[in-house]
Amino acid sequence: MFDKVALIGIGLIGSSLAHVMRREKLANKICISTRRKETLDRAEKLGLGDTYELNPEIAVEGADCVIICTPVGVCGAVAEKIKSHLASETIVTDVGSVKRSVIDQVSPHLPTNVHFIPGHPIAGTEYSGPDAGFASLFENRWCILTPEANASPEPVQKLKAFWERCGSQVEIMDPDHHDLVLAITSHLPHLIAYNIVGTASELEGDTRSEVIKFSASGFRDFTRLASSDPTMWRDVFLHNKDAVLEMLGRFSEDLSGLQRAIRRGDGEALFELFAKTRDIRRSIIEQGQDVEEPNFGRDSS
């Protein structure tokens, strides 16, 4: 599909893309660039690409597709570095969990003869780094693209086809709407998970070790999200502040309502909520976005 793809950043998403591009033969040549020499050496040892460059300027030379796979906080700096080295008609995209901020950071730097199409694959694991990637990460997952209204249709179609070859379904969305939807489906869940694990880790004395011992009663589920990459998530919250604060406000209001119901012994209010939340999981399973097996199937192994 592409002659040369430059991957800037080689964490979970970048390395998964490298694997699936190779398997599906989506690029003649993959050039990997990342800031830290140690990470680049690791990527080379894993054989993720064809060439390896510390300088993103060199990496993007002659590429017809550049995929920025860094934490969202450094997208702007990457764009500034590569801007004078991009070939005409190159597709520049990214994989960040926030879209408005990435557009604001990246767009001003890019020349008008390249096609900037922001993207976000809705896929991941709690692991990070070049060792974490695998080719099937994007299978049956959605990928959201947020091109500007005046974007040329051909490169958007090409990038859509690329993600479909990676196993994903593609949805085109307004960047602000993306940021609001992801605030509730992804950013708030991670924030809540980090928070409860933080609360538990500050318990006094024996209780902390008991939290680990008896975690199968519910707590362990949260520790998965709360072991995600700290840099990536710091940047998400700094760059999607408004939408996250909006959703956090709603969550906190609802939680105050539950707190009051518990304090007053209002069993009806509790039952009413607990009975209706089952439907959402059923829909998620029906749409193939989670498994039906008890405990995510993990205890049956």
201-220 residues in contact with its own copies (CB under 8 A) are: 201-203, 207, 210-220
| Residue 28 found at the interface with its own copies (CB under 8 A) | no
CB nearer to its own copies: give 1 or 184: 184
Complete DSSP assignment for 107-140:
GGGS-TTSEE--EEE----S--STTS--TTTTTT
The closest of 97, 140, 92 to 117, measured between CA atoms, is 92
Using CA atoms, how far apart are residues 123 and 5, in angstroms rounded to an integer?
20
CB nearer to its own copies: give 111 or 230: 230
Helix ranges, 166-240 (H): 175-182, 188-201, 206-213, 219-225, 230-239
Which tokens is 7 given?
A: 């991957």
Min. distance of Cβ 299 from its own copies in angstroms?
Answer: 8
142-161 residues in contact with its own copies (CB under 8 A) are: 142, 144
Site map (CB under 8 A) of its own copies, residues 234-273, x = contact: xx-xx--x--xx-xx-xxx-xx--xx-xxx-x-x--xx-x
CB nearer to its own copies: give 154 or 272: 272
For the chain, the distance separating the N- and C-terminal CA atoms, rounded to the nearest angstrom, is 39
**Of 11, 14, 49, 124, the one binding its own copies by CB under 8 A:** 124
Residue type, 278: R
**C-beta of residue 121 within 8 angstroms of C-beta of residue 146:** no
CB nearer to its own copies: give 51 or 127: 127
| Residue 184 found at the interface with its own copies (CB under 8 A) | yes
| Residue 181 found at the interface with its own copies (CB under 8 A) | yes
Separation in Å, CA 39 to CA 63, 88, 131, 132, 234: 22, 30, 10, 12, 20
96-115 residues in contact with its own copies (CB under 8 A) are: 97
Part in contact with its own copies (CB under 8 A); list of ranges 31-39, 58-66, 103-111, 183-191: 183-191
